[in-house]
Amino acid sequence: MKLNERSLVFYATCDSPADNAGFLYKRGERHTAYHRRWFVLKGNMLFYFEERESREPVGVIVLEGCTVELCDTAEEFAFAIRFSGTKSRTYVLAADSQVAMEAWVKALSRASFDYMRLVVRELEKQLEEMRWGCRHTPACCKARPLGMEHSLPALPTVLPKENGCAVWNNAPSVDQLHDDCDDEANPRPPPLPPRRRASSGDTGTAEISAFCRLHERYGREVAQLRQDWQHRQCQHRP
């Protein structure tokens, strides 16, 4: 892999927000001694510096085709970045605390392009399921019990009831019911029913809820990362 050194140095030291940053202990390649380095994670690249104020990184780890896992070493709170190649190097790092180690493992595990592609595919799948449900819910609703909702079914001969009262008319007349039967050959769109409480078995609502929870979870993480970056920027200002 060929990388432009000047572009990497600029990217590592520019003001763009980092996904994570902090001191870690890095084990040497030939010796087992650990050295304290300042690490900065941006996208799928993990830069490390001699000191926090260093103007250029000492090295960079491209987090593609690797796994991040805990390792059993003499150093506490240690974890390893392992690559799939037979001659690939394994990077052993250690944090200062359990909380810091978990944060780094989580951030590094989500830094690769493969992980981002999986997230995008999952979101696209959920979105497609929601769209498919919106298109086919009216037809499927005819075979569902009256308790299932999330669609506007064709006007039936007997109006559905909620809590003992008809949804669209509290006292339907015989003429109205007769007209409804005659309209089955050429059904008209029914009036909009009042909003009802979502039932626990509503699959459409469950899909939307799962998508919203996933969106909110990643939104909170992005907001927290931005807040942490802004806080660090304020600390660096004189």
Tens-digit pLDDT profile for residues 50-65? 999 999 999 999 999 9
Q: Decide which of 87, 111, 135 is a domain's last residue.
A: 111
Both 136 and 167 in one domain: the answer is: yes
The confidence score (pLDDT) of residue 150 equals: 46
d(CA 58, CA 9): 10
Both 13 and 28 in one domain: the answer is: yes
Query: And the tokens for 143?
Result: 């075979």
Q: 40-51: string of b/e by CB count within 10 Å (b at 16+)?
A: bbbebbbbbbee
Both 139 and 170 in one domain: the answer is: yes
The confidence score (pLDDT) of residue 229 equals: 74
Both 156 and 220 in one domain: the answer is: yes
**Residue 236 domain-assigned (yes or no):** no
**Residue 77 domain-assigned (yes or no):** yes
The confidence score (pLDDT) of residue 178 equals: 47
**Residue 144 domain-assigned (yes or no):** yes
Q: Decide which of 96, 111, 126 is a domain's last residue.
A: 111
C-alpha angle 107-220-17 in degrees, rounded to nearest 5: 55
The string of pLDDT tens digits covering residues 221-237 is 777 877 877 777 777 66
The confidence score (pLDDT) of residue 17 equals: 92
d(CA 42, CA 51): 17
Both 75 and 96 in one domain: the answer is: yes
* Residues spanned by the domain of 66: 5-111
The confidence score (pLDDT) of residue 45 equals: 94
The confidence score (pLDDT) of residue 216 equals: 75
Q: Decide which of 80, 96, 111 is a domain's last residue.
A: 111
Q: 62-87: string of b/e by CB count within 10 Å (b at 16+)?
A: ebeebebeeeeeeeebbbbbbbeeee
Both 140 and 57 in one domain: the answer is: no
Both 226 and 125 in one domain: the answer is: yes
Both 72 and 95 in one domain: the answer is: yes
Both 107 and 120 in one domain: the answer is: no
Measuring CA to CA, which residue among 75, 83, 68 is closest to residue 34? 75
Both 165 and 186 in one domain: the answer is: yes
| pLDDT tens for the chain, residues 1 to 238 | 677 888 988 999 998 999 999 999 999 877 788 999 999 999 999 999 999 999 999 999 999 999 999 988 888 899 999 998 778 889 999 999 999 999 999 999 999 988 888 889 999 999 988 888 887 765 544 445 444 444 444 444 444 444 444 444 444 444 444 454 444 445 555 555 555 454 445 555 555 666 667 767 777 877 787 787 777 777 766 5
- What is the tally of structural domains in the chain? 2
Q: Give the E-state strand segments of 71-214 in sequence order.
A: 78-83, 91-94, 161-162, 165-166
